[in-house]
Chains A and B, each alone.
Chain A
């Protein structure tokens, strides 16, 4: 496990990664870095190149050019030992359906060199699937298979987790549990997490940094705080007395996230602004309101604007 001192070291790196299928570049010159203890959200629409990138990271398909480094080791040909320190969850959680959850994990544990039943039981418990340990996977729902996939990913106490669309098929409780697990692993154990998703809201809640892939190219890479700043929507009020308006917002409505960019303008930042209630409060307190306008982009708007609003 990474110690605090090595948390900021690069654990996963791609350099000018290219994967062609026929004449189409599924991944086109992708360069990114994931640091220890960081949760990196890899965002993109369906077909943007997320899964192809992850397949190259895991050695399942070979890049046409460029390279992948995990813990500083180039992943080429048969030299993929660094993967033994990686936990992964593929987009389809494949298991031997004739075996039970426990038997499946035992098989993977045996091949991974994980010793002891305790490690398997811990992983099952962490993923919230321990109650179904002795049930055959054939009877599992997609959500249960996903949970078992998470258990498998945690089995070898990884230093890097690579997750492809991890919340697909999970119920709300499963999504919440996964969020907690990832946050705990990253914050407490310094585990780096690289997770792909096309659901922006989910990535935003858990990631530290976000990379947006579109048409195989990384078109944006920003810290989540900056993303939040960019997608912060606001309601702008043109008022007769901005100072009194500020007092009413703070004292009467308990709103502190606002600014006065210029005289007569009050900009209120909130996820869901009740513009009507604010307007009413201003008018009741004798402040004239000449204009109310919503400004700024939501998460979806931001993403669509970035990707041109079309599919890859």
Chain B
């Protein structure tokens, strides 16, 4: 399994998607910081502390950029094997299909955690450079866990996208699905249904705030059921499919 995970990272060498990942994960800290700089001289300037920047960055990572970016990266990892004709050359080595897919998921998890850390590092650095109130090593360090936790939950939510990638084997319709689901997140994000839509349920889970109108387990149930279904369907699909 270690060989397969290592191979996944070897495949990314010199790939433009590697840079896309880092560039995409840099968007939220940069945009959040730019917003603070823009409104810093306004009436609510005292709000714009280190905590504010890191909270905003994590929120937008979990709600907007993360699902889209990580869904795209995971789907690309799968679809490129079909489009570049490499899958039909790797599986007969022989490589177990279940292990091959598991290695992809594991590599994606590692990649997402690295990008979550990168996003945190960037936000913390920008906060220091911008001289935001409340900056200290301990103040920023306490956000490492929420960033990584958010990343891990986003990884769980990438499984339906990987299933779509395996079923469609074409990045364009998969991107359309990812964008659609992310737009739904924007609509539902501020509604009462936030805890039961899997891609917004992540917000009450990470923040630890109870969900009004729904039992406390509702966000967990929504997120984990979606993730579980995505994983199971992905493995069934991949292990049974004829490789073109």
Contacts and interface: CB of A to CB of B under 8 A. Distances in A.
B129 interface: no
Interface stretch (B31-39, B88-96, B180-188, B201-209): B88-96
A103 B10 contact: yes
B94 A61 contact: no
Interface in B66-110: 84-96
Interface residues of A, number: 32
Given A90-B85, A110-B6, A111-B90, A98 B95 contact: no
A149 B87 CA distance: 14
B142 interface: no
Contacts, number: 83
Contact of B93 (A98, A106, A111): A111
A99 B13 contact: yes
B93 A61 contact: no
A96 B84 contact: yes
Contact of B86 (A59, A61, A78, A96): A96
B95 A152 contact: no
A107 B92 contact: no
A37 to B, nearest CB: 22
Given A103-B13, A110-B3, A83 B86 contact: no
B15 interface: yes
Contacts of B13: 98-99, 103
Contact of B84 (A59, A84, A95, A106): A95
A84 B88 CA distance: 15
Given A81-B94, A92-B85, A95-B86, A61 B4 contact: no
Contacts of A62: 240, 242
Contact of B4 (A94, A97, A111, A112): A111
Contact of A60 (B16, B86, B88): B88
A99 B10 contact: yes
B84 A60 contact: no
A136 B89 CA distance: 18
Interface in B1-45: 3-4, 6-7, 10-16
Contacts of A302: none
Given A90-B85, A98-B15, A99-B11, A112 B93 contact: yes
Interface residues of B, number: 27
B92 A136 contact: no
A112 B240 CA distance: 23
A40 interface: no
B88 A90 contact: yes
Interface string B130-152: 00000000000000000000000
Contacts of B7: 107, 110-111
B176 interface: no
A192 interface: no
Nearest to B16: A98
Interface string A151-184: 0100000000000000000000000000000000
A55 B89 CA distance: 11
B92 A86 contact: yes
Contacts of B242: 55, 60-62
Contact of A94 (B3, B14, B86, B240): B86
B243 interface: yes
Contacts of B16: 98
Contacts of A60: 88, 91-92, 242-243
B10 A88 contact: no
Contacts of B3: 110-111
Given A59-B91, A61-B243, A107 B14 contact: no
Contacts of B92: 58-60, 80, 83, 86, 88
State the 9 A-B residue pairs at the shortest beta-carbon distance, nearest first. Answer: A94-B85, A61-B242, A58-B92, A60-B243, A83-B94, A94-B86, A80-B94, A92-B85, A98-B14
Given A92-B85, A94-B86, 17 more contacts: A55-B243, A58-B91, A61-B243, A78-B96, A80-B92, A88-B92, A92-B88, A93-B85, A94-B84, A94-B85, A97-B84, A99-B11, A107-B7, A107-B10, A108-B89, A110-B3, A149-B89
Interface of A: 55, 58-62, 78, 80-81, 83-84, 86, 88, 90, 92-99, 103, 106-108, 110-112, 136, 149, 152
Interface of B: 3-4, 6-7, 10-16, 84-96, 240, 242-243
18 contacts: A55-B243, A58-B88, A58-B91, A58-B92, A59-B91, A59-B94, A62-B242, A83-B92, A83-B93, A90-B88, A97-B84, A98-B13, A103-B10, A108-B90, A110-B7, A110-B10, A111-B3, A111-B95
